[in-house]
């Protein structure tokens, strides 16, 4: 058996870039060693791991996988446990996002959006249950305020995130008391990689009570709070959106 690692260990999906990378840096700075999953962002993931290793040696493990490949998910957990012998936190961050206007959506788009946003988080969580139970650990799912307030032209994405929100609450009930399960629902903290028109961004922020966009660090700090500082919180989805979900 692999000896149990001294420091807490977190697995972050989609950790190579954007919000996932900021979550990784935040947890690493808080003392977590990390399993960094990526799909295609190998260069970004390696650069992140190199930087974190300079700060603390032997503190990262790179894991490449296509999350739609269900047999690969237990293997991710197996590789992690082979390295560290423990798992304290699972952060289901990886997500596909693209429009699917009604009348144009395809079965392939359904599969892609549900695979990353609902199917993989469930089956990866299921594979992690024994290790998380032993550690009395936590799962944090990156949901979206659009799970409750849909975004026009994106029905499949909104449906998939709504499924993830329901999964968060269901697993919190089923896995208690040993494992806590929560979610974070960001608002505007990073614009999509393919960009949004400036006018749309301006109008969105005008409807946000705090009248500004957030930052990936706002999401990452909430994830850390749920993992480390909220031992009596489970089954909750924390909105990190500047109050935008309050507006009509």
Structural domain 9-239, CATH architecture: 3-Layer(aba) Sandwich (3.40)
CA gap 197, 160 in Å, rounded: 24
CA gap 191, 245 in Å, rounded: 17
Residues 39-79: tens digit of each pLDDT:
988 999 999 999 999 999 999 999 999 999 999 999 999 99
- Spans of the chain, pLDDT less than 50: 195, 198
Max Cα-Cα span within the chain: 57
Task: Say what the pLDDT of residue 38 is.
Answer: 96
Task: Say what the pLDDT of residue 193 is.
Answer: 61
Task: Say what the pLDDT of residue 248 is.
Answer: 52
Helix (H/G/I), strand (E/B), else coil: 63: strand
DSSP one-letter string for 19-61: HHHHHHHHHHHTT-EEEEEESS-HHHHHHHHHHHHHHSTT-EE
Q: Any catalytic annotation for residue 157?
A: yes
Catalytic residue among 32, 146, 157, 198: 157
Contacts of 166 (CB under 8 A, 6+ apart): none
Task: Say what the pLDDT of residue 209 is.
Answer: 82
Sign, Cα dihedral of 224, 225, 228, 230: negative
Task: Say what the pLDDT of residue 198 is.
Answer: 46
Task: Say what the pLDDT of residue 140 is.
Answer: 98
- Strand ranges (DSSP E) for the chain? 9-12, 33-38, 60-64, 89-92, 138-142, 180-186, 237-240
Task: Say what the pLDDT of residue 214 is.
Answer: 85
Note the pTM of the prediction, 2 decimals.
Answer: 0.93
């Amino acid at each position: 058996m692999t000896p149990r690692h001294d420091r807490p260990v977190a697995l972050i999906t989609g950790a190579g870039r954007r919000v996932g990378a900021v979550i990784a840096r935040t947890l690493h700075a808080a003392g977590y060693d990390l399993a960094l999953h990526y799909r295609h962002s190998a260069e970004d993931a390696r650069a992140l791991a190199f930087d974190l290793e300079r700060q603390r040696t032997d503190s990262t493990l790179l894991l490449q996988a296509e999350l739609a490949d269900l047999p690969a998910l237990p293997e991710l957990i197996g590789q992690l446990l082979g390295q560290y012998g423990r798992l304290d936190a699972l952060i289901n961050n990886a997500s596909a996002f693209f429009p699917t206007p009604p009348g144009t959506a395809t079965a392939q788009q359904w599969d892609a959006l549900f695979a990353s946003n609902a199917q993989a988080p469930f089956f990866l969580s299921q594979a992690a249950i024994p290790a998380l139970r032993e550690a009395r650990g936590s799962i944090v799912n990156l949901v979206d305020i659009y799970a409750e307030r849909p975004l026009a032209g994106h029905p499949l994405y909104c449906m998939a995130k709504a499924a993830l929100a329901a999964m968060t609450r269901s697993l919190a009930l089923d896995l208690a008391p040993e494992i806590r399960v929560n979610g974070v629902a960001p608002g505007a903290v990073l614009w999509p990689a393919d960009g949004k028109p400036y006018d749309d961004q301006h109008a969105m922020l005008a409807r946000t009570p705090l009248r500004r966009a957030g930052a990936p660090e706002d999401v990452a700090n909430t994830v850390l709070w749920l993992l480390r500082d909220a031992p009596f919180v489970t089954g909750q989805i924390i909105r990190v959106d500047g109050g935008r979900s309050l507006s009509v």
